[in-house]
A and B are shown apart, each in its own frame.
Chain A
Amino acid sequence: MMEMNVTEQTTENVGGGCSSSGCGGSNDQLSHLPEHIREKVHDHPCYSEEAHHHYARMHVAVAPACNIQCHYCNRKYDCANESRPGVVSELLTPDQAVKKVMAVAANIPQMTVLGIAGPGDPLANPERTFDTFRQLTDKAPDIKLCVSTNGLTLPEQVEELCKHNIDHVTITINCVDPDVGARIYPWIFWNNCRIKGRKGAKILIEQQQKGLQMLTDRGILVKVNSVMIPGVNDQHLEEVSKVVKAKGAFLHNVMPLIAETEHGTFYGVMGQRGPEYEELQELQDKCAGDMNMMRHCRQCRADAVGMLGEDRGDEFTMDKVEVMEVDYEEAMRKRADYHASIEANRDAQKNQTNETFVSISSIKLHKKKELRPVLMAVATSGGSVINQHFGHAQEFLVYEATEMDVRFIGHRKVDLYCSGGDTCGDAETTLDKIIKTLKGCEAVLCSKVGYEPWELLEEAGIQPNGEHAMEAIEDAVAAVYAEMVEAGLPDKDKSDASIKITA
């Protein structure tokens, strides 16, 4: 059907064989990084977009205390139905956490990474955090250790972090300007005092920047997370991106603010809105000029377990973990075998990709004017292939196809809070909601679609497509784009209303 010619793509290919520059959203964008860094993130689902299709992570909630207050956080609510950072169902002691990690790592062989991300600040709980890391270094040396922090006490803990062989640190940096900071952080706890407003924000910013520099000086990989808060720091985050890149951060993750009244946060209660998908993407694209951007973050809970799009925490509550029998040695061997098969699979996919990627020249033949990009949604349960039934998808990955490449844009969660229908007094059906969530996308690629959703999707201008089941996502998106171009890509209806991102 298509000509298979990749010669025009080869310069993009240094990232390790991916045919499109968007591949990885990080993988290929990481391609200019030194080999040893790419090596480190190759199987890290939170740092490499490509890896997140194959590998799993978990967080253990051992760090409840925090030393700052953020306007998007509320320490009172630990709801089982909420999926966002800072939320957990049960707090663990370091010993319990270690037990849980060993049980999960034995049962989910895709697991490569253990992170401590709260629910407070891991470095405000140094004893609990480092005790957990110390035990895991010993018992599960194949698991990578990560920590996520607000940065306030980072400078004084860099030495300790280095001792524990932690080579991935995430710092949440929402601003480099104390005036902006004063609108995000109402207070910090510093030198035995609560310090409010701009003064506190200024100290926090200084500590974050100092800690970032110290880490990168020591060769530790630093990712910077920023929460995009429209009207507060959205205009400012481009500057943040520049500053943190100059200090050696290797990846910037701009995430949308999650703020609902029922969360009880300052932003939620005061009616601060989160960004629209388009706004988030626009900012990520702007920052991308200065920085490798991460777009596959799922803003997971501080006790999340499993692949990035899923949470299997319920299978590993402490009462269940306590009675699981785990053979550590055997589990580690099993993981190694499993990881080897994943890598063989990834290599095979790359080789196949190089053979099947749609020729750019074949598209250009039809070019009369500049071809517009098209967004497509994809249902996948992992493995970088289209392998999920439309009705089973809890989230869709969104890709943008252009003449030049296919790139990953982000994910959209489906109906997380309830299944809709009468129980919530909500007349909107689940299907209506999904279609609304997919707004802006012109096709949805999945393994199968039922008759009813097929019709409704078509009506909504989203072409369902089940013809690419089990194919590599980017190849399939490129192929569908080529078909659309072949058929004469119509001008896009600009009347699409923006939609709000929900958790």
Chain B
Amino acid sequence: MAYKIIESCVNCWACEPLCPSDAIYEAKPTFLINQKKCTECDGDFMVAQCASICPIEGAILDSYGESANPAGSLTGIPPERMAEAMAEIQAR
């Protein structure tokens, strides 16, 4: 049972000081979570702290490998609209 930071992390440092288990550490190219130390904040907080402050959709996965913050959940941008916008930029 552990959360995981993946490569879309932008290294903003927001999660690191919040972790009650000191499981998050600076690494290259991105921060990582020590899988042995992570408790998913169980017993410390109602919600996983890293996933609650992370500003990047998809950068943190839960123990099932699902995005803790799926596309559109933080920015409010509907994923279809984002895809359209990206296609527009590509076509320029």
Residues of A within 8 A of B (CB): 64-67, 69, 71, 74-76, 91, 120, 124-125, 186-187, 189, 192-194, 261-262, 265-266, 268-270, 425
Q: Is the CB of B52 within 8 A of A192?
A: yes
18 A-B pairs with CB atoms under 8 Å apart are: A64-B13, A65-B53, A69-B75, A71-B75, A75-B12, A75-B56, A124-B14, A125-B13, A186-B74, A192-B45, A192-B47, A192-B49, A192-B52, A193-B46, A261-B85, A265-B75, A266-B75, A269-B77
CA distance in complex: A244, B81 (Å): 37
Residue of B nearest to A124 (CB): B14
Q: Across the interface, which residues of A come within 8 angstroms of B92, CB to CB?
A: 425
Please name the residue on chain B nearest to A73 by beta carbon. Answer: B55
* Chain B residues near A (Cβ < 8 Å): 10-14, 17-18, 45-47, 49, 52-53, 55-56, 74-77, 81-82, 85, 88-89, 92
The reply to whether A187 and B74 form a contact with Cβ atoms under 8 Å apart is yes
In terms of DSSP, what is the predominant structure of the interface of chain B?
loop
Give 9 closest A-B pairs by Cβ, nearest first.
A65-B14, A194-B52, A189-B53, A64-B12, A269-B85, A65-B13, A75-B55, A186-B76, A64-B13
- Closest A residue to B49 by beta carbon equals A192
Count contacts between A and B, CB distance < 8 Å.
67
Query: Could you say which of A65, A124, A265, A269 contacts B81, with CB atoms under 8 Å apart?
Result: A269
Q: Which residue of B lies closest to A127 (CB)?
A: B17
- Which label, helix, strand, loop or mixed, suits the secondary structure of the A interface? loop
The answer for the CA separation of A194 and B46 in the assembled complex, in Å, is: 11
Separation of A194 and B41 alpha carbons in the complex (Å): 15
Please tell me if the beta carbons of A186 and B52 are within 8 angstroms of each other in the complex: no
Find A270's partner among B53, B55, B77 (CB 8 Å cutoff). B77
Interface contact A266-B77, CB-CB below 8 Å? yes
For A189, the chain B residues whose CB sits under 8 A away are: 14, 52-53
Which residue from chain B places its CB closest to the CB of A65 in the assembled complex?
Answer: B14
B-side contacts of A64, CB under 8 Å? 11-14
Shortest Cβ gap from B89 to chain A (Å): 6
Contact partners of B75 in chain A: CB under 8 A: 69, 71, 74, 186, 265-266
Whether B88 lies near A120 (C-beta < 8 A) is no
| In the bound complex, CA of A125 to CA of B12 (Å) | 10
Residues of A close to B82: CB separation below 8 A:
269
In Å, the complex CA distance between A61 and B17 comes to: 18
Chain B residue contacts of A125, Cβ below 8 A: 13
A75-B55, A186-B74 known; 15 new pairs, CB 8 Å cut-off, are: A64-B14, A65-B17, A66-B55, A69-B75, A74-B75, A75-B10, A75-B56, A120-B13, A124-B14, A186-B75, A189-B53, A194-B53, A262-B89, A266-B77, A269-B77
